[in-house]
Structure 1
């Protein structure tokens, strides 16, 4: 369909009318964004409420699905784990005499260190930063200044994206390196067994427990003819007959520095529990980020920004 005006307008006049219409649409969009920012503020407040420390908290089961290796639960209140009782039956972990399992209980005394989920601390801070950005956009700056609102929306999009990435926890940067972020033994009563790493983190909005039994490389070891880690003939008969054995876990054979010692991971166990509150936070953050992306795209069109400028 052709677009034309009658009577015909000069090209210069036509350009002026187009610019005027574009400016009118931009002003209308900036006005309507103020209502949208109010809705966004409510969504962010809902996220902050879900992350706030409210009793009785969320009690989550942490048990292995197809084995008796791990059985127990933890209670999360806000960004902290305030209660936990877990029974371990790991082949590489010696149980106390007279007991078939090793029991891990969080200490319930004021002097014990707190078990804080640093990822949730970061998510809570990022949500609060997003609320500050919305407040600045609505009340501090000029709400009809397109460039100001555009830059605020970009900042808001980056902050929401970082918060979602923290809840995903897909890499060591977001969840922390286990050898630096294992729970302190004094958090438990009795303390953790030696050379046992206990790490809680967030992955895909779920609470994930990593247990690692460690073996120090400083232990004296006298090889014998029946040892499985040497070969007197230059080749391993087991490997020749049955093929090379698969690694029991992805960190087998790697060296790590843990509490000032060089260690290897003998056994690694991963157990997760879906957290409904964190799933709700992720869903809300995803929806809010999508809305912000739509506003940025609309401003790009009306401000006639190049794609390279908006990235």
Structure 2
């Protein structure tokens, strides 16, 4: 059985009635979107609180130890964007045994998490502007704000995901040019490469040796510590070391940065030994990653629904 509007309307009146119906539907959707924005704000506030610098139950004490070896043994406590205490016992192949303790008065700042907290604060400001400052009945304004909010959360997810590390293959070192070397770690102001991350001398007791680099970065589930023993390129290897390498009595420690040259404290250096170790799972970062993903998908769904109500196709919007 067919259905039709009765009495029949002329084409111009039918178009006018359709436009009025679409306008009412859009107005209803924009009004209901305010409740959704309030839910987004609550979720963002919860994520923001998990990166609070105050020491509270959200702190995480994580074991950092190399499996099946004694190269690195220790633990650290992360609170918000800082590592506030911990200790590391190092038994590297090219350094004497060393025990380092993190000073509680000079915490180690994680710039990636500081940037993530700034992004979350910007997202909260974006929600407040959308709800209270701009024209909440303007579909164009709401669309632009949702796009901005979505881009902020995508960037926040990328920050928390962390860098992708190259997988070294034995015998195939990965030489890196000195001017553009990141070794899998994003080189930007919010996530500087390791050779630009020099902790305050008061961060560890005793102070870290001049030829030792400790680089700690967060990921969605843990912290990754990379330890590098450095040697100046200006100092040639001794005759004994050359002879030992030639006859096979001594072997080079192969890793992905073994042929790279880096600027460290104003001096060109090579990485003599490199050890990377991942901490145990950080429950706060795990929950934070899940919540950010859920918020990003929720905002993406709101954007798609608004486009549908406005009569815009995905392809047209992308163009």
**How far did residue 308 of structure 1 move?**
4.3
Q: Normalization by structure 2: what TM-score?
A: 0.83
User: Which of 206, 219, 225 is 1:203 aligned to?
Assistant: 219
Match of residue 175 from structure 2: none
Work out the CA distance in 2 between the residues paired with 1:89 and 1:284.
38
The alignment partner of 2:229 has SS state of strand
Which residue does the alignment assign to 2:62? 60
Cα deviation, residue 86, structure 1: 0.7
CA deviation map 1:98-126 (0-9, x unaligned): xxxx1011124x4xx43100011111111
TM-score, with normalisation over the residues of structure 1? Answer: 0.85
Q: Quote the Cα distance in structure 2 between the aligned partners of 1:58 and 1:268.
A: 26
The CA distance in 1 between the partners of 2:241 and 2:65, in whole Å, is: 40
| 1:82 corresponds to | 84
1:190 Cα offset (Å): 0.7
1:219: which partner in 2? 235
Distance 1:166 1:226 in 2: 43
How many residue pairs are counted as aligned between the two chains? 290
Q: Distance in 2 between matches of 1:106 and 1:247?
A: 28
Distance 1:129 1:205 in 2: 24
Q: Say whether the 8 Å CA contact 1:186–1:192 is kept in structure 2.
A: no
How far 1:185 moved relative to its partner? 3.7
- Give the whole-Å Cα distance in 2 for the aligned partners of 1:92 and 1:135: 55
CA distance in 1, matches of 2:72, 2:2: 71
Taking the aligned partners of 2:140 and 2:146, their CA distance within structure 1 comes to: 10
* Unaligned 5+ runs, structure 2: 164-184
Distance 1:3-1:249 versus aligned 2 partners, 3 A rule: farther
Q: Note the 1:140-289 alignment, pairs <5 A.
A: 140-170=133-163, 171-173=185-187, 175-223=191-239, 227=243, 248-273=254-279, 274-289=281-296
Equivalent residue, structure 1, for 2:28: 28
Take 1:24 and 1:73, find their aligned partners in 2: how far apart are those partners? 59
Please report the RMSD computed on the Cα atoms of aligned residues, expressed in angstroms: 2.4
